[in-house]
Amino acid sequence: MSSPVGPLLLAGDGDALSAIGFSAGKGARGAEPTWVRDDDRFSGAVAQLREYFDGTRRTFDLDLAPSGTAFQRQVLDALLTIPYGETRSYADVARQVGRPAAVRAVGAANGRNPLPIVIPCHRVLGRDGSLTGFGGGLDAKRFLLDLEARTIDGA
């Protein structure tokens, strides 16, 4: 799908969304050779993402099937609790998952988020509030944070 942060690849098995890939940045992802293209499969996800980018959707209601270890899934679950328009530090997320010393591990799990935007890893910042890595690039991360701030301010 096209988006303000560039083309996004949506993938999954059945009706559950398991991946959102950026076309650029360290998280750039293309279709796997065994995948079958079906432009209608995730029309609901496309509609919700468009609403998000239009500033009319703050939460997603989608069937998700992210992959990852048990710890990575804990981190993804913690990311889902970060409210729209708010941010947390990696240390905050580490404390939330009960592993306060695992800040780097949280950063690594955050970086492997297979469903960016929907699972809002862009809402996690460095301890000093600085932007840190993001699969779609720092410009995309800044765009998403600014979009949410503008929507909150305009609400």
For residue 76, pLDDT over 90 is answered with: yes
pLDDT at res. 155: 57
Letter for the amino acid at 133?
Answer: G
DSSP 20: E
Give dist(CA 35, CA 37) in Å, integer.
Answer: 6
Domains in the chain, CATH or no CATH each: 8-54 (no CATH), 70-154 (1.10.10.10)
- Percent with pLDDT over 70 in the chain: 99
The per-residue pLDDT of the chain, averaged, comes to: 92
- In 3-state terms the chain splits into helix, strand, coil percentages (rounded to 5) of 35, 10, 50
For residue 25, pLDDT over 90 is answered with: no
pLDDT per position as a tens digit, 34-54: 888 888 889 999 999 999 999
DSSP 118-138: TS-GGGEE-TTS-----TT-H
Pairing of strands 124-125, 88-89: parallel
If one counts every other C-beta atom within 10 angstroms of the C-beta of residue 96, the result is: 18
**Catalytically annotated residue among 17, 121, 140, 147:** 121
Q: Is 121 a catalytic residue?
A: yes
Letter for the amino acid at 96?
Answer: Q
